Structure 1
Amino acid sequence: MALATFSVRMDESLKRQFDALCSDFGMNATTAFNVFARAVVRERRIPFEIQASDDITRQDGMQAFMALRAQAKENGVQDLTLEEINEEIRKSRYGEETE
């Protein structure tokens, strides 16, 4: 089987940490990347979950909430009660005109 070169750029500190950990496992970085590549091909997926951190999710959620809050204030509906909100939702669902 012919070999190919695969070059990866990464933060120098991360590389040092990765190399040290691979050494603890008894392998080098090349072997670790080969193990990863074989797992991806075999399983036909990334063999671990990739997701955004909770901090980003919370920040995005808070920004969306604050934007909705500002929009409600602009439209003069920031003080609606829960019953009034539910009535607006009901009217919207059933195609009724809102006042």
Structure 2
Amino acid sequence: MNTILLAASQAGANFLSIGLLVIMFVIMYFFMIKPQKKEQQQKEIMLKELEVGDTVLITAGFYGTVIDIQEDLVIVEFGNNRNCRIPMQKQAISQVEKAKDSKK
């Protein structure tokens, strides 16, 4: 009789530990994985909407203006003297500020 109760309590403990693991995975998904995917999608949309003339902030902390856009490369102009043009990957852009329309 004692062995039957012992086996039943061990089976209950196994189901409880599996349930806790499932709950921990669900919590991790909603607090870590889902926000990261959402941020990645927002960055992809931002890079798709990138246009010539937009002001960008690159990951190195420099602000510049987009001069030319190719597939994975962007040529960015830095500074006031207009002589510093650097090609870089689109992934190096962390923020985009749209160019203001001159028609208004």
Q: Same fold (TM over 0.5)?
A: no
| TM-score (normalised: structure 2) | 0.28
Structure with the bigger percentage of helix: 1
Structure with the bigger percentage of strand: 2
| TM-score (normalised: structure 1) | 0.29
